[in-house]
Amino acid sequence: MKGGLTMNKHEAITQGLRLIEKSNFCMLGTNGEDGFPNIKGMTNLKHEGIKKIWFSTNTSSKRVQQLRKDNRACVYYVDEKPFRGLMLVGTIKILQDIESKRMLWTEGAEKYYPLGVEDPDYSVLYFTAKRGNYYQALKNITFEIE
């Protein structure tokens, strides 16, 4: 935090939520097998507030392999103009129950999962945030998420 600029938690969460809602995609950070961080762009499909976020992915993907070994993750939303970013840190559960898969299914998803909603190569990633950081115009705040 520079120059005495401050922002409270409520404001950060309100602005962060707006950023989530206007984002078509976001970045998922995971721990690679060799100790290096990894990042992948993900389609922004569904969220509840800033605590719960769901993604769709291929069960066979490298990301799922990594998350089976280490479920610690972060999700990052960013806007170029004005430059602002929301980082959420938390853990991920890999879901393969049909209700979760139906909930997240979108038109055209056969492109990724040719066998449809029951495709075993289709999984849902369920992220739960425990901490957030919001950055905008040199203001920067880290906050716990209950």
* Residue 54 lies near a copy of itself (rule: CB under 8 A): no
List the one residue from 68, 72, 93, 102 that touches a copy of itself (CB under 8 A): 72
User: Within 10 A of 144 (CB to CB), how many other CB atoms are there?
Assistant: 9
Q: Is 10 a residue that touches a copy of itself (CB under 8 A)?
A: no
Does residue 56 contact residue 44 with C-beta atoms inside 8 Å?
A: no
For residue 140, how many other CB atoms are within 10 A of its CB?
16
Identity of the residue, 78 or 117, whose beta carbon is nearer to a copy of itself in the bound complex? 78
Number of residues near a copy of itself (by CB under 8 A): 31
Contact stretch for a copy of itself (CB under 8 A) within 10-18, 26-34, 93-101, 102-110: 26-34
116: left (phi over 0), alpha (psi -120 to 50) or beta: left
Q: Is 49 in the site for a copy of itself (CB under 8 A)?
A: no
Terminal C-alpha separation, the chain: 23
- What DSSP character marks residue 61? S
Residue appearing with tokens 């170029």: 80
Is residue 78 part of the contact set for a copy of itself (CB under 8 A)? yes
Binding site for a copy of itself (CB under 8 A): 2, 24-25, 27, 29-32, 35-41, 58, 72-74, 76, 78, 80, 83, 85, 87, 89-90, 111-112, 135, 138
